[in-house]
Amino acid sequence: MLKFQISYKNPLTHILKLKLEIDKIYGDQVNLKLPVWRPGRYEIQNFPKRIRGFKVADNRGKQLSFKKTAKDTWTIDIQERTSLTVEYEYFAGLLDGGNTWLDDEQLYVNPINCCMYEASSMNEEIEIELDLPQDYTIASGLKPNGNHKLTAKSYYQLVDSPIFASASLRTVGYTVGGHEFFIHIQGDVPQTDEELIADFKPFTEKQMEVMGGFPCRHYHFLIQSLPYKAYHGVEHWNSTVICLGPSQDLGKRELYKELLGVSSHELFHTWNVIRLRPKEMVPYNFSGENYHETGFVTEGITTYYGDLFLVRSGVFSVEEYMTELNKLLKRHYENEGRKSYSVAQSSFDLWLDGYERGVPGRKVSIYNEGALAALILDLSIRQKFNNARSLDDVIRLLWQRHSKDMSGYTLADYQLAAESVYEGSLETYFEQIILGTHPYEHYLAPLLEWVGLDFKKKDAEKVEERLFGFRLLENRVDMIAENSPAELGLCLNDLVVSINGKKPTEAIEACNLLNLEVQRMGVTKNVTLRSTNSQYFQVYEVQPKANMNEHDQHLLCGWLELK
């Protein structure tokens, strides 16, 4: 068994002290490593940059020599010693869904950030002891093993099991089908225990109904309710960390809806990506990129189902679900990258720039475009079989074929599962929607019409966006539409001082000419833009038909499982 001890002296410094005891090791050298990325965030984050004070000793306390041989690797000369004690410090100064945080109110640990590993012992049991104030309680998916002690079956389980510890944790529990679910809250959430259970339990039940059970005995929602604006969720083996704020707005439906949405999304990850995983990530390689083309499955399908399960379980109204669907459509149609880069290409490049805006018109979001691609496939199957089959069947089939032994699936496996359910070729769909840049509206218009929804184009409200093709954010040019008048006179990040003699925050009347004063890299320029007959920043929106007939209602109810 390996042992980790985690302690600290002054929590306000954010410095954690870690001790690793290895009792069985052989050879002349050993390589200790720290991951450079974490599951759930497919980008290199280089956690070793937060390590300091590394030292190692044998069982007699003698300090051993070591050398840093890679950015994530410490090579130790052990000379046939069989046990080691490794000590180092970690800066726990980032509070979000995937990092580690220490202050005078809590300790929040993502072990993948700070716990080292040795390749030959990754499947050994690990004990974690936390040196904490006596009044602190712990919340984690790991097995309790005494006061402030936890046990992991392997390194893989350890680093997929975040830990909350504080004196002010609030825990709410409920049970579904013999499986226990816990909502642990650090911070303020105004909803009562009964209100939380009334919303969390239905979408949990619906997901378990669709997937035919639940893959773990216990599950933990670890929620950081923060006093400032925040939105982040990360999936784990039998838990999730969710950071949301500002906490004072959680009493309002809008932010509470976000909590429910991200919670449903992360719970579905328990199946999709935690256990049903792309083959390229079986097992995880913590030393570098795990490139894969199927991010649109892991994140896109999960994004689609996150909100869909909420309306199917009655937690969201139809109007609330349409609002979320329209957000996806707006992001899609305002991103010129949809014309040049497929969702499969964007999945592969997730490791390159997937979590940043990127250069204009280069890529799409696997979350957003993947969700719309899932909607298209779901409705295509439902239309062919009159709602008797759906994407549910595809995911269940993929789960049956590739999750039990965690063998992983490929893009070809996903297509095969979809075609098995569809009972026919989906080659055109995969070529155009997954591997290509075919306009989504060619699929969405007839499919949404089939389930009783109007799918209509909506013009941008602001004159500068609609007629001239530029969008401002805090008076700076934030977006420029392709082939628009703005493209001939403006640059991204130009500071707009005035438009037709008015402040840029004032409304502009419809006109054919704009005279702008802008500052570009410290130089003031006067720019004139002339409108054409084209319009820009147009998006599509959906809403239920005003005069829905009984057949339309039947199909919509079949898709959304409305009573």
Q: Are residues 158 and 174 in the same domain?
A: no
Among 305, 371, 559, residue whose Cα is nearest residue 451: 559
Q: Global pTM? A: 0.96
Domain total of the chain: 4
For residue 28, being part of any structural domain is answered with yes
Q: What is the pLDDT of residue 423?
A: 98
Q: State the CATH number of the domain containing residue 386.
A: 1.10.390.10
Q: Are residues 450 and 471 in the same domain?
A: no
Burial class, 308, CB count within 10 angstroms (exposed 0-12 / middle 13-18 / buried 19+): buried
Give all strands (DSSP E) within 189-257, no chain letters: 218-225, 230-235, 239-245
Among 184, 206, 115, 178, residue whose Cα is nearest residue 152: 115
Burial class, 546, CB count within 10 angstroms (exposed 0-12 / middle 13-18 / buried 19+): exposed
Tell me how far the alpha carbon of residue 106 is from its chain's centroid. Answer: 24
For residue 92, being part of any structural domain is answered with yes
Between CA 57 and CA 114 the distance in angstroms is: 19
Query: What token pair was written down for 148?
Result: 């402030």
For residue 541, being part of any structural domain is answered with no
Q: Are residues 392 and 471 in the same domain?
A: no
Q: Are residues 143 and 253 in the same domain?
A: no
Helices (H), 403-457: 411-422, 427-429, 441-450
Q: Are residues 304 and 441 in the same domain?
A: yes
For residue 45, being part of any structural domain is answered with yes
Q: What is the pLDDT of residue 79?
A: 76
What residues form DSSP beta bridges with 527? 516
Q: What is the pLDDT of residue 405?
A: 84
Ranges under pLDDT 50 in the chain: none
Of the three residues 133, 148, 166, the one that is the final residue of a domain is 166
Of the three residues 166, 188, 221, the one that is the final residue of a domain is 166
Q: How far, in Å, are 253, 326, 506 from residue 541 at the CA level? A: 22, 6, 27
Q: Are residues 258 and 364 in the same domain?
A: no
Q: Are residues 158 and 182 in the same domain?
A: no
For residue 276, being part of any structural domain is answered with no
For residue 539, being part of any structural domain is answered with no
At residue 505, what are phi and psi to the nearest 5 degrees? -85, -10
Label the pairing between strands 218-225 and 179-187: parallel
For residue 446, being part of any structural domain is answered with yes
For residue 344, being part of any structural domain is answered with yes
Q: Are residues 394 and 501 in the same domain?
A: no
Q: What is the pLDDT of residue 82?
A: 74
Between CA 198 and CA 475 the distance in angstroms is: 43
Interhelix angle 318-333/302-312, rounded to 10 degrees, is 160
In tens, the pLDDT along 167-224 reads 999 999 999 999 999 999 999 999 999 999 999 999 999 999 999 999 999 999 999 9
Q: Are residues 44 and 78 in the same domain?
A: yes
Q: Are residues 40 and 134 in the same domain?
A: yes
Instruction: Give just the sign of the alpha carbon dihedral 498, 499, 502, 503.
Output: negative
Of the three residues 166, 182, 199, the one that is the final residue of a domain is 166
Q: Are residues 555 and 428 in the same domain?
A: yes
Q: What is the pLDDT of residue 37?
A: 98
Q: Are residues 505 and 562 in the same domain?
A: no
Q: Domain range for residue 416?
A: 288-454+551-563
Q: State the CATH number of the domain containing residue 129.
A: 2.60.40.3650
Between CA 311 and CA 453 the distance in angstroms is: 16
Q: What is the pLDDT of residue 543?
A: 95
Among 189, 208, 162, residue whose Cα is nearest residue 309: 208
Q: What is the pLDDT of residue 561?
A: 96
Q: State the CATH number of the domain containing residue 525.
A: 2.30.42.10
Give the single-character DSSP code of 298: I
Q: What is the pLDDT of residue 32?
A: 97
